[in-house]
Amino acid sequence: MDGYRAASALLPGRLRTAAEALPPEERAVCEELRLRQGRAMTALLAGREYPLPAPAVTEQDLRAVAEAATGASLHAAAEQLRAGYLTAPGGVRVGVCGTAVMGPGGMEGVRYISSMALRVPHEAAGCADGIWPALTAGGFRSCLIAAPPGAGKTTLLREIVRRLSWEGTRVAVADERGEIAGAWEGAPAFDLGPCADVLTGAPKAEAVGMLARAMNPQVVAMDEIGGGEDARALLAAAGCGAMLLATVHGRRGERMSGSCRRLVEAGCFQRLVWIDAAAGARRYAVERVPCA
C-alpha cells in the first residue's frame, strides 16, 4: 500500500499535483504533508519541513481535505474531531487545528479549520529483521516500543504484528485511530497476516478490555499508551494471560511517564525496543527488562 499516494489523494487538484511532483525517493520517506491557511504546503522530511511549489493553501482547500477524509460527512466524524484528528482511507491520520468548540464536557470539535497535518503511513516489511532474534529468543515476550514522535513506532509495531500473525500467533489489535491496520469501512489497507483481529475506532482502554475478553488473544497490541486508563487496561489483559505489544513516546536515557513506568516495574513488559531516528535513518536497540 502506497501511504504517500493515499495521503496526496486527499488533496484538491493543484495541491495534489505539487505533492505528486515530489521525487520518488523523497515520497518514500515523507512523514507528513502539512497545510496552513495562507501558507505554502510543506513536506516533512527527516524532521524538517520543505515548502512545495504550489499556491498558498486556502480555506476551501482545507475544507476539501476534510470532506475527502470523511467521505463528505464531517458530522459522522464528530467523535474523532473531539480528539483533534480525522482518520482517512489508507491509514492516513489528518491532524486538525482551528477554533475549538467547547462544551460542558470539554472540547467537542473544531471549526474554522486553519491547518492540517496529513500523517503518511508507511508499510516497511522487513524493518524488524535485525531485531527479530532478540525479540523472539526463548519465545516472544511482551514488548514496549519507545521513541520520539515521528520515529517509526507505529511502523515497527505493525511489522511485529504482521510477523507474529504469519507465524500463527493470535494478535488482537486495538486500533483507535485506524493507523495500524489502515482499515476503512472494515477493510484493512495493510497486511497484518492471517491471525490478526482488529478493532478500530474505540478508545484504546475500552478496546483492549473487549478484545481480551472476546477474542482469546495470545498478544494484545495497541499504539501510544496514554494515561492511567490505558495502563490499567493493559494490566488487566496481562492478567488474563495475554502478552502485550505497545508503543509509547520516549527517548533512551529519559525517564518514562508514570503509567508506563508502573507497567514496566510491574513486570508487564520483558523487552524494550528503543528507536533512534537521525537524518532519515532508524536504528533499533533491544533491552531485556529485569524480572520484577
Helix-strand-coil split of the chain, %, nearest 5: 30, 30, 35
CATH architecture observed for domain 129-288: 3-Layer(aba) Sandwich (3.40)
Whole-angstrom distance, CA of residue 237 vs CA of residue 259: 15
Cα 263 to chain center, whole Å?
Answer: 21
Asked if residues 121 and 90 have their Cβ atoms less than 8 Å apart, the reply is yes
Terminus-to-terminus CA distance in the chain, angstroms? 41
Distances, alpha carbon 201 to alpha carbons 107, 159, 205, in Å? 18, 21, 12
Whole-angstrom distance, CA of residue 212 vs CA of residue 232: 13
Whole-angstrom distance, CA of residue 72 vs CA of residue 290: 51
Residue 257 per-residue DSSP state: P
Whole-angstrom distance, CA of residue 199 vs CA of residue 255: 31
Q: How is residue 166 written as a grid cell?
A: 504469519
Per-residue pLDDT of the chain (292 residues; tens, 9 = 90+): 588 999 999 999 999 999 999 999 999 989 999 999 999 999 999 889 999 999 999 999 999 999 899 875 666 566 677 778 888 888 898 999 998 888 887 777 777 899 999 999 888 889 999 999 999 999 999 999 999 888 889 999 999 999 999 999 999 999 988 889 987 777 788 899 999 999 988 888 899 999 999 999 999 999 988 878 888 888 888 888 999 999 998 888 777 777 788 888 888 999 999 998 776 678 999 999 876 4
DSSP E strand stretches across the chain: 30-36, 42-45, 48-51, 85-88, 92-103, 106-119, 143-147, 171-175, 196-200, 219-222, 243-249, 271-278, 281-288
Which pLDDT score, from 0 to 100, does residue 124 have? 85
Burial of 227 (0-12, 13-18, 19+ CB in 10 A): exposed
Q: Which fold has domain 3-119?
A: Beta-Lactamase (3.30.450)
Domain boundaries, the chain: 3-119, 129-288
Q: How is residue 70 written as a grid cell?
A: 470523511
- Among residues 145, 206, 214, the alpha carbon closest in space to that of 176 is found at 206
Which pLDDT score, from 0 to 100, does residue 5 have? 94
Q: How is residue 137 written as a grid cell?
A: 529468543
Residue 66 per-residue DSSP state: H
Whole-angstrom distance, CA of residue 172 vs CA of residue 142: 13
Whole-angstrom distance, CA of residue 31 vs CA of residue 45: 6
Asked if residues 222 and 198 have their Cβ atoms less than 8 Å apart, the reply is no
Residue 260, strand partner residues: none
61 Cβ neighbours under 8 A, 6+ residues apart: 11, 12, 15, 35
Which pLDDT score, from 0 to 100, does residue 189 have? 82
Residue 111, strand partner residues: 99
Q: What global pTM score does this model have?
A: 0.83
Q: Which helix (H) or strand (E) holds 202?
A: none
